[in-house]
Amino acid sequence: MTLTEVSSTDRLSTYDESMLSVTSPEPVPDPLRTLVVVPTFEEGANICRLLVGVRAAVPDADVLIVDDGSLDGTPELAEALAAQLGRISVLRRRGQRGLGPAYRAGFEVGLTEGFDFIVQMDADLSHDPADLPALVNSVSCGADLAIGSRYVTGGSTPGWPARRRLLSRAGGLYARTLLGLRVRDATSGYRAYRSDLLRTIGLESVTTDGFGFQIDMTDRARRAGAVIEETPIAFHDRTAGESKMSGGIVSEALLLVTQRALGRLSRRC
Ligand SMILES: Nc1nc2c(ncn2[C@@H]2O[C@H](COP(=O)(O)OP(=O)(O)OP(=O)(O)O)[C@@H](O)[C@H]2O)c(=O)[nH]1
Ligand SMILES: [Mg+2]
């Protein structure tokens, strides 16, 4: 009888009895869980497209909208979509506004609920949900922090005038040089954290806002010895809703970098 003629019964009969002994199956580890945190203030014109896009890009991820008292229906729209799509929650913060505190509130929910990876992204569609799998993949495969970067090969800022590109790059270079960050896009707000890194950093001591928050978190990650990777993104300007960026946020970031660099210098002297 040739090999191809062996029937399944014949094949079974050649097994050693010990091979048939019943062993308890290896426990299957729980799948790793991702939470996408989206801070919102008055993003009613964008929130539905964003949530549908996120669900399509990472169907297994949960989403947390952290809203700071929007009056344009943003949280209500998010709740209506949550009822349709599932696994979307809305945290309505009362009192003061602030992007840094909103991120921290969202991250704390993610840590308390035991998520393995926590992603942050803007609601204004500047951050393309299609880039989510690459960010999550990066932290799943060993990075502690994955930054969606406009300034690595493959990244871009389509439609930005040269002046804005120059300012953004100059700010990034300032932070990179003074703080010794080996990151091309330290102000990017599109990133994924391994939860253990956020626990190590200790969110309660983070008081920065806006761009300063992104630089601060990148610097804290560096000091914690984190593996930081950058994955390319195309950053699109918002086409709906109002920007909440102010000159104060930029000054705060510059001040933070300068103070921290001086602190580094005085520790060396
Ligand atoms: N919860 C909360 N979200 C905020 C606050 N300020 C801004 N956001 C959200 O943070 C994200 C980024 O804000 P943007 O206004 O787009 O700021 P930006 O991306 O730095 O600036 P642009 O380039 O003009 O878009 C968006 O999803 C906003 O809705 C705030 O005070 N609280
Ligand atoms: Mg924006």
Domain boundaries, the chain: 31-264
Distance (Å) from CA 127 to ligand 2 centroid: 8
Would you say 41 and 68 are in contact if contact means Cβ atoms under 8 Å apart? yes
Residues with CB under 5 A from ligand 2 (ion): 122, 124, 126
The ligand 1 atom nearest the CA atom of 211: 20
Would you say 144 and 196 are in contact if contact means Cβ atoms under 8 Å apart? yes
Cβ(41) – ligand 1 distance below 6 Å:
yes
Cβ(238) – ligand 1 distance below 6 Å:
yes
Lay out the sheet containing 228-232: strands in order across: 88-92, 62-67, 34-40, 117-120, 191-194, 145-149, 228-232
Residue-wise pLDDT tens digits, 75-87: 999 999 999 999 9
Q: How many helices (H) and strands (E) does the chain have?
A: 9, 7
Does CATH number 3.30.70.1400 belong to domain 31-264?
Answer: no
- In whole angstroms, give the CA distance from residue 252 to residue 197: 24
- In whole angstroms, give the CA distance from residue 139 to residue 149: 15
Q: What is the pLDDT of residue 80?
A: 98
pTM of the predicted model as reported, rounded to 2 decimal places: 0.87
Mean pLDDT along residues 47-72: 97
Distance (Å) from CA 177 to ligand 1 centroid: 26
Distance (Å) from CA 182 to ligand 1 centroid: 26
**Helix, strand or coil, per DSSP, at residue 142:** coil
Cβ(43) – ligand 1 distance below 6 Å:
yes
**Nearest ligand (C-alpha, residue 249):** 1
Residues linked to residue 38 through DSSP beta bridges, in sequence order: 65
Cβ(188) – ligand 1 distance below 6 Å:
no
Distance (Å) from CA 114 to ligand 2 centroid: 28
CA angle 79, 99, 46 (to 5 degrees): 40
Mutation test of ligand 1: which of 46, 122, 128 has the most ligand atoms closer than 8 Å to its C-beta?
122
**Nearest ligand (C-alpha, residue 187):** 1
Distance (Å) from CA 240 to ligand 1 centroid: 12
Averaged confidence pLDDT in the chain: 88
Atom 6 (ligand 1) nearest CA: 99
Q: What is the pLDDT of residue 178?
A: 86
Mean pLDDT along residues 249-264: 78
Residue-wise pLDDT tens digits, 171-216: 888 888 988 899 999 999 999 999 999 999 999 999 988 888 999 9
- In whole angstroms, give the CA distance from residue 175 to residue 178: 5
